[in-house]
Structure 1
């Protein structure tokens, strides 16, 4: 009778039959770059890309130039009109896509430029807000059932300012140059950690920043338009339109100057006529 083969012998035989296994070398970041490129291609939007539009515009221009230069390569009038309209449409779409790409690139640059400053301002304002809310909770527990005290009113004002500071750091317009709420001076940078902590504790409630944007953030909090303010170009979404008073004065001033300029050439003509009359009388 034949003996059964052991499991180890069969496994070795299978491995020899298949041959040595070849593993692909590991390349870090290769797959990540591929997915990132796919995300960028999907983010360009629907329709042809910028390179495709440029090549199509180049082909249409060559076709129309060839038709004009070579009399043999004429095309019907309706076909020529269609090609010209297509060329204009491609040029218009290329301008729009180029402007959108430039805006997106500028937006990414501004976000990355002020990311750390905004992050530190938001962290500090959030820390101040939490501390003030804890103080308010202890104040309400201590004075439960009593009238509103001046300290409580002061805490409420400080809490409101801290909430505005947090929203200032989050919803400040992304396309506008960011002005820090808590800028560090050169003296604070040279101090040690302990000294800087004491200075921070003394002046952490005093937020600086841009006063106009501070008022715009407060107004946006009341109206519920913080997202609109964040995505605006220059923060005009949270500002009220100013009355145009100077423009009327400039137009009136320019109108007066134009009237003077038009009235000035009339004076020399009268003098020239008098000179002509006198010369003529003398020679007569």
Structure 2
């Protein structure tokens, strides 16, 4: 039986009747295929399941000591990761919820700041009026910082809230005296402006008073290790010669 001719051996007169070979499809990388594992897509749910399973496993009193120690370490690690993921999830929800309100507050505060700065530069006003307008510029600068650097992990208190009409539409509050917001947070932001710690406040690294948070274990890390004190001994004539040759030494301890 004659073998089938290869594709390249087809006569040129019949080449138009033979379908062309389709190019092989390029496979997408695994990170672009759209197929992600449940663990990566829902880390919070996976960690809750893992903590629950390890807790149930450790409730069994028949576990060998080595396995119990291993599972206890795994449980502690899973609980730490769960706390981090829960905090990140809460932060993400807060950002999504208050993003629009913060954006409009920032726009309004920026416009008011521009008007206040322009009013200070006007000519023909008294020094008292210029000083009053300068204080208003400072307040407007605090307003802008309030809208931008309010902690992302907390529920945002609107700086320029809107009032609800009877027909269901929103009406913008007019007038400089209608500035609202969280008064305590305004004072914290004013303090952070002077200390240049606004970014730390925004990302939750400061407490409600504007001071740096002390995390677990930081106190131990901040304390310098205590050096063991050796009993002092009297200096003899033999010891004086090396001290003279080692002039300027600080004992090998550098800060």
Q: Same fold (TM over 0.5)?
A: yes
**Number of residue pairs aligned between Structure 1 and Structure 2:** 193
Write the deviation string for residues 238-278 of structure 1: whole angstroms up to 9, x where unpaired. 279xxxxxxxxxxxxxxxxxxxxxxxxxxxxxxxxxxxxxx
What is the Cα-based RMSD across aligned positions, in Å?
4.4
Q: Is the 8 A contact 1:136 1:152 kept in 2?
A: yes
Q: 1:219 aligns with which of 178, 188, 191?
A: 191
Deviation at 1:52, TM superposition (A): 9.5
Query: 1:135–1:186: structure 2 CA closer, same or farther, 3 Å change rule?
Result: same
1:177 equivalent in alignment to 2:155: yes
Write the deviation string for residues 51-87 of structure 1: whole angstroms up to 9, x where unpaired. 895699489769984xx6xxxxxxxxxxx43322111
Deviation at 1:153, TM superposition (A): 1.0
Which structure shows the bigger proportion of residues in helix conformation?
1
1:137-152 pair list within 5 angstroms: 137=121, 139=122, 142=123, 149-152=127-130
Q: Is the 8 A contact 2:48 2:82 kept in 1?
A: no
Query: 1:188–1:15: structure 2 CA closer, same or farther, 3 Å change rule?
Result: farther
CA distance in 2, matches of 1:88, 1:135: 66
Where structure 2 has 5 or more consecutive residues not aligned to the other structure, the ranges are 1-11, 213-255
Where structure 1 has 5 or more consecutive residues not aligned to the other structure, the ranges are 1-9, 25-29, 69-79, 241-284
1:122 equivalent in alignment to 2:144: no
SS at match of 1:236: coil
Q: Is the 8 A contact 1:173 1:235 kept in 2?
A: no
Query: 1:225–1:62: structure 2 CA closer, same or farther, 3 Å change rule?
Result: closer
Query: 1:206–1:86: structure 2 CA closer, same or farther, 3 Å change rule?
Result: same
Q: 1:133 aligns with which of 109, 117, 135?
A: 117
Task: State the structure with more CA Rg.
Answer: 1
CA distance in 1, matches of 2:134, 2:33: 49
Q: Is the 8 A contact 1:129 1:162 kept in 2?
A: yes
Name 1:166's counterpart in structure 2: 144
Q: Is the 8 A contact 1:172 1:229 kept in 2?
A: yes
1:101 equivalent in alignment to 2:80: no
Higher relative CO (CA 8 A, sep ≥ 6), structure 1 or 2? 1
CA distance in 2, matches of 1:208, 1:155: 19
Deviation at 1:186, TM superposition (A): 2.5
Q: Is the 8 A contact 1:136 1:155 kept in 2?
A: yes
CA distance in 2, matches of 1:17, 1:93: 60
SS at match of 2:79: helix
Deviation at 1:120, TM superposition (A): 0.7
Moved over 3 A (4+): 12-17, 19-24, 30-34, 49-65, 187-192
CA distance in 1, matches of 2:193, 2:167: 34
